[in-house]
């Protein structure tokens, strides 16, 4: 099995992942690679948004045909705001029965990237222990199960870039104030601010909710501050969206994934 990630997630190399990980490049109008475009754009000449260009059906097919030559299953975490699920369904049908394409939606703007790391690890561990054929439905079911065992937390320097896709894709100026906001998703689906303060103060308050049977998975972007109590730390590339906006995303998840696999998960 190969895990495929959008380049938009900012995860180019994940050394502790047991499964092979492939990064699917993000296309831009004009053909310049995403990282190079962001690096070359001067902050004084920031455009309103990145000129993203979605894959055509034929481009999707070419990419996943290459993956199909290496593995029987590709577990693809895709951004629904960028990638067409209808095209993925067509590609999946064209690749059957020799290859199974398993698309799992993961919103690059709204979702917690520490949770993404955990899901990749948990699903790879679960899939590697299965004797029965792996189906699309089983992957979706176990994705939801593993997500239900996580407690997510987010600390952001600016809220706006996480509320609208257009703002998320802009090349922002770095925030002037060193304050962070602890945010959460309200029942109405909108992002709400719970507290504002210095990063370490907010982190210590969050850490107080961590229990002994949980690990803290932490993703940092644009931050080098040590966060005590973190068990697994992953630093995103600085070119990750939203550009120039620092943030910390974390989850508290069960320490032993194998314990989850032994639990009564529907099959």
Bridge-based pairing of strands 100-105 and 151-156 is: unpaired
Q: What is the pTM of this model?
A: 0.90
The whole-angstrom separation of Cα 145 and Cα 123 is: 10
CATH annotation of 152-259 = 3.30.1180
In this predicted model, what pLDDT tens digit does every residue of 219-229 receive, in sequence order? 999 998 999 99
Cis ω for the linkage preceding 100 (within 30 of 0): no
Query: What backbone torsions phi and psi does residue 48 show, to the nearest 5 degrees?
Result: -70, -35
* Helix pair angle (136-148, 113-128), 10° resolution: 130
Is the alpha carbon torsion for 20, 16, 9, 150 positive or negative?
A: positive
In this predicted model, what pLDDT tens digit does every residue of 104-163 receive, in sequence order? 999 999 999 999 999 999 999 999 999 889 999 999 999 999 999 999 999 999 999 999
The whole-angstrom separation of Cα 159 and Cα 157 is: 7
Tokens 């959460």 identify what position?
184
In this predicted model, what pLDDT tens digit does every residue of 10-60 receive, in sequence order? 998 887 788 899 999 999 998 888 888 887 775 555 556 789 999 999 999
Indicate the domain borders of the chain.
2-148, 152-259
Architecture label for domain 2-148: 3-Layer(aba) Sandwich (3.40)
Q: Which residues pair with 155 in a beta bridge?
A: 182, 248
- Pick the more confident residue, 238 or 141: 141
């Amino acid at each position: 099995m190969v895990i495929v990630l959008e380049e938009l997630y900012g995860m180019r190399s994940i050394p502790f992942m047991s499964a092979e990980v492939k990064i699917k490049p993000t296309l831009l109008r004009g053909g310049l690679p995403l990282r190079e475009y962001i690096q070359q754009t001067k902050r004084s000449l920031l455009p309103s948004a990145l000129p993203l260009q979605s894959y055509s059906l034929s481009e999707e097919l070419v990419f996943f045909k290459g993956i199909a030559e290496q593995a029987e299953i590709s577990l693809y975490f895709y951004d629904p705001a960028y990638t067409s699920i209808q095209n993925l369904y067509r590609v999946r049908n064209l690749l059957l029965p020799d290859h199974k394409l398993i698309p799992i939606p993961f919103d690059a703007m709204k979702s917690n990237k520490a949770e993404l790391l955990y899901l990749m690890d948990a699903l790879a561990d679960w899939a590697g222990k299965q004797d029965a054929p792996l189906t699309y439905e089983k992957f979706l079911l176990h994705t939801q199960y593993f997500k239900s065992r996580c407690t997510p937390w987010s600390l952001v320097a600016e809220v706006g870039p996480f509320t609208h896709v257009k703002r998320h894709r802009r090349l922002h100026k770095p925030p002037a104030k060193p304050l962070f906001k602890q945010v959460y998703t309200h029942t109405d689906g909108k992002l709400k601010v719970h507290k504002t303060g210095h990063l370490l103060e907010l982190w210590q308050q969050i850490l107080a909710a961590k229990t002994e049977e949980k690990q803290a998975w932490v993703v940092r972007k644009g931050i080098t501050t040590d966060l005590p109590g973190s068990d697994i730390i992953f630093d995103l590339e600085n070119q990750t969206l939203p550009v120039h906006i620092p943030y910390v995303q974390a989850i508290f998840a069960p320490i032993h994934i194998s314990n989850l696999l032994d639990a009564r998960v529907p099959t």
